[in-house]
Amino acid sequence: QLQLQESGPGLVKPSETLSLTCTVSGDSISNSDYSWGWIRQPPGKGLECIGTIYYSGSTYYNPSLKSRVTISVDTSKSQFSLKLSSVTAADAAVYYCARHRYSGSYRWFDPWGQGTLVTVSS
C-alpha cells in the first residue's frame, strides 16, 4: 500500500527558505502513471496546489508561487522535495505531499501524506 510521509523543520524564520521532503513507500516513485505533488493549507483556509513533479524531473508550479518554488525528485531515495524561498507569515500552513494519479483521461490526488505544520516566525 502506497504511503507518503512529509518531513522537515516545523519552524522557519521569515525571509528564509522552507525545505520539506516527502518519502514514498509501497510503490515506485518512477512509475510513469504518476506525478508527485505538494499542496498546502494555511490556517483557516482552503487547499492550494504548490506544484508537481514527474520522476523525470519535469515540473509544474503554481504561477502565484513559481518565482519562489523549487520541487525536485531523488528516485534513488524514493523522495521528492519542496523548497520555498523568502517565506513570510503567509506561508505558514500544513503542507501535504500526495501522488497525482493519471488513469486514462482522469487525474486525481491520492493518497496524501498526513501533513506537516510549518510555522513562520523569528
Partner 1 sequence: EIVLTQSPGTLSLSPGERATLSCRASQSVSSNYLTWYQHKPGQAPRLLIYGAYNRATGIPDRFSGSGSGTDFTLTISRLEPEDFAVYYCQQYGSSPLITFGQGTRLEIK
Q: Which residues bind partner 1 (CB under 8 A)?
A: 37, 39, 45-49, 52, 60, 62-64, 96, 98, 100, 105-115
Residue 18's region, left for phi above 0, alpha for psi from -120 to 50, else beta, is: beta
Nearer CB in complex with partner 1: 17/64: 64
End-to-end CA distance of the chain: 39
Nearer CB in complex with partner 1: 39/82: 39
Nearest distance from C-beta of residue 60 to partner 1, angstroms = 5
Q: What are phi and psi of 90, to 5 degrees?
A: -65, -15
CB 92 within 8 A of CB 34: no
Give 90's DSSP letter. G
Nearer CB in complex with partner 1: 80/109: 109
Nearest distance from C-beta of residue 91 to partner 1, angstroms = 17
